[in-house]
Structure 1
Amino acid sequence: MKKLLPTSTVGSLPKPAWLAPPEKLWSPWKLEGDQLLEGKQDALRVSFHEQQLAGIDIISDGEQTRQHFVTTFIEHLSGVDFKNRKTVKIRNRYDASVPVVVSEVSRQKAVFVDDAKFLRKQTNKPIKWALPGPMTMVDTLYDNHYKSREKLAWEFAKALNEEARELQDAGVDIIQFDEPAFNVFFDEVNDWGMAVLERAIEGLNCETALHICYGYGIKANTDWKKTLGSEWRQYEDIFPKIQNSSIDMVSLECHNSHVPFNLIELLRGKKVMIGAIDVATNKIETPEEVANTIRKALEFVDVENLYPSTNCGMAPLSRDVAGGKLSALSAGAKIIRKELGI
């Protein structure tokens, strides 16, 4: 029988300090060559083991083999210059030095497939793999070739679809597309963003998920959140389009956010990954706090469609804090299962 309220992380987990300097994004590798490959595999083992110990039901790679959730995929595509960078404003929020699209982009080889095969060998549990969404990829570089966000996004969707099909063949059960840009560029999401994402999931038989959050717990994001007022209704503009899409599962940020729970009603029929862990604080939630978030969500989504998870990735946190939060997530889901007798 399928376990109800299965828990998972949404994205990254902290890397071991011997692999990369801790508690930062875009953290440089401390190893190189064969040692780096071995180190990444060891980190994958450790990450799996820590999720297992915390009682997590759907295992992810914790993004141990990539420096960043977007740029690592882009690095493996042709047509992108990483040496002569330009500075752009990411999601209208913060400046970053990014690569430049100089010619036609295409995927020459698999990016994460070997890593996924390695993780698949470690466990019989369901595994989930995250890929950057096309619109967020477009927002994380400078385009000097296509001169059109939409045209570039279609090319990225094609490359992502090739990767996703190979990940599925490698035994991945859920492929998640990370689209924080969906929370900013609403008109584009409705004009072409959702159509482009449909292209990325074309022909997949595994489950597909869409992750839309308010970002990592970094200063640029927390400052932005302070400007959003007492109710965060950004999801309202895009959920109707998502509800009509082929995506199976949608993740949303709930714990310690100002997202009204009744917005989940707009996703009726979809599976919902409910963010019950705040990644923007070092405070570890109590199991009861997690249970309370799940209870609120259950008013708007059937129990068989609810997947308790984190709000976003936890790469910038310490391993102790992240581990504590994962254990709280599992314990909170357990409380609700007991209450419901499931």
Structure 2
Amino acid sequence: MTPALLPTSIVGSLPKPSWLAEPETLWSPWKLEGAALIEGKQDAMRIAVQEQTRRGIDIIGDGEQTRQHFVTTFIEHLDGVDFAQRRTVRIRDRYDASVPTVVGAVHRERPVFVDDAAFLRASTDRPIKWTLPGPMTMVDTLYDAHYRSREKLAWEFATILNQEARELEAAGVDIIQFDEPAFNVFLDEVKDWGVAALERACEGLRAETAVHICYGYGIKANTDWKATLGSQWRHYEESFPLLQRSAVDIVSLECHHSRVPLELVELVRGKKVMLGAIDVADTTVETPEEVADTLRRALAYVDADKLVPSTNCGMAPFPREVALRKLSALSAGAAILREELADARV
């Protein structure tokens, strides 16, 4: 049974098994091919579901076991993008990467993740969440030689994402999450068209929608960037008021061990808040009381019935045992606070 208060959730990735991809390596190539790869991905998803269930996670994700990269795995299934034609671009103004090129009108011929989502749905009776890349983050992970406009390309991607999201909903997905780490970088674009494009991706959905905005995996490029941000990270101050007025149901943010002032959560009052209470940049495993303390302090700015304890971001680069122990800490910390809230009502 999913608890009425403080249902826990992962944000995105979990470590992949060593027989599927290189451990502790982001975006590692697959070790299997063909039918063996399909079977291996399904086996990895089964493990991810089982471990989340054993560790007390209430809203189950696939752990991105079927995806090599959280953005490009979706893009590689679209027409109009040439993966052989590579260009080097600056990703989120932080690091250089070789990326595919948009060479024509982008188009989705067939569903990308729907079969995988249906497999996840059949693997658990708990609520499930599926993650998709957000339009702005997709734009920032390509070289555009066709539209020559970040905004135009974002709107095209938003329409494609909406098509995919509607089919994920039909496959039984309860929450569809759009990952938009670019929202913490391109603040003017967020205001000009970023939130509007995100709403287009969510249009007409009955499933709950979420947007995840974080400061990235614990890789050197991200930790070096964070070191330049000063004593307070106030980027959410720009996007949260816009999201509070948007049609998006849930706002997911990085919190634990970050320099985000907790009072910024007040800016999305009325929305559900998926609050990151597990650090993904440090292998030290939080204690349940540390998790409970992060969540407890957040209750000054979000109602308990709208708080969803989660991780700051994905945990793919961690040793598997570290990630699993962090999941246990998340659920145990939520349980502490859940009990406190129950006692306060007596």
Structure 1 stretches lacking a partner, 5+ long:
none
Q: Name the structure 1 match of 2:212.
A: 211
Q: Which residue of 2 aligns with 1:290?
A: 291
Q: In the TM superposition, what is the alpha-carbon distance from 1:101 to its structure 2 partner?
A: 0.2
CA distance in 2, matches of 1:95, 1:300: 37
The aligned counterpart of 1:70 is 71
Question: Match for residue 226 of structure 1?
Answer: 227
* Counterpart Cα distance in 1 of 2:54 and 2:153: 41
Q: In 2, distance between residues paired with 1:114 and 1:77?
A: 16
Give runs of ≥4 in structure 1 deviating > 2 Å.
none
What percentage of aligned pairs have identical amino acids? Answer: 73
Letter in 2 for 1:147: R
Please tell me the residue identity of whatever aligns with 2:341. Answer: L
Instruction: Report 1:248-327 matches (<5 A).
Output: 248-327=249-328
Partner residue in 1 for 2:38: 37
Q: Distance in 1 between matches of 2:151 and 2:229?
A: 27
Partner Cα separation in structure 2 for residue 171 and residue 210 of structure 1: 19
The 2-side partners of 1:339 and 1:242 are apart by 30
Query: Normalization by structure 1: what TM-score?
Result: 0.99
Q: Distance in 1 between matches of 2:220 and 2:325?
A: 22
SS in 2 for 1:14: coil
How far apart are the structure 1 equivalents of 2:89 and 2:10? 29
Counterpart position of 1:246: 247
Q: Following the alignment from structure 2 to structure 1, what is the Cα–Cα distance between the partners of residues 335 and 200?
A: 37
Amino acid at match of 1:99: P
- Superposed, 1:91-240 pairs within 5 Å as 91-240=92-241
Residues of 2 paired with 1:176 and 1:148: CA distance? 25
Which amino acid is 2:99 matched to? V
CA distance in 2 between counterparts of 1:26 and 1:101 reads 21
Indicate yes or no: 2:55 matched with 1:54: yes
Deviation at residue 84 of structure 1 after TM alignment: 1.6
Q: CA RMSD in A?
A: 0.8
Structure-1 separation of matches of 2:321 and 2:88: 34
Instruction: Letter of the 2:207 partner, please give it.
Output: C
Q: Distance in 1 between matches of 2:91 and 2:23?
A: 23
Render the CA deviation track for 1:276-308: whole Å, top value 9, x for unaligned: 000001100000100000001111110000000
Aligned to 1:330: 331
Q: CA deviation at 1:3?
A: 2.2
How far has the Cα of 1:2 moved from its partner?
5.1
Separation (CA, whole Å) in 1 of partners of 2:23 and 2:99: 22
1:87 offset after TM fit, Å? 0.7
Instruction: Write the distance in 2 (CA, Å) between the matches of 1:265 and 1:119.
Output: 34
SS in 1 for 2:136: helix
CA distance in 2, matches of 1:236, 1:132: 22
Q: Distance in 2 between matches of 1:341 and 1:26?
A: 42
Where 1:101 maps in the other structure, the secondary structure is strand
Tell me the matched-pair count: 342
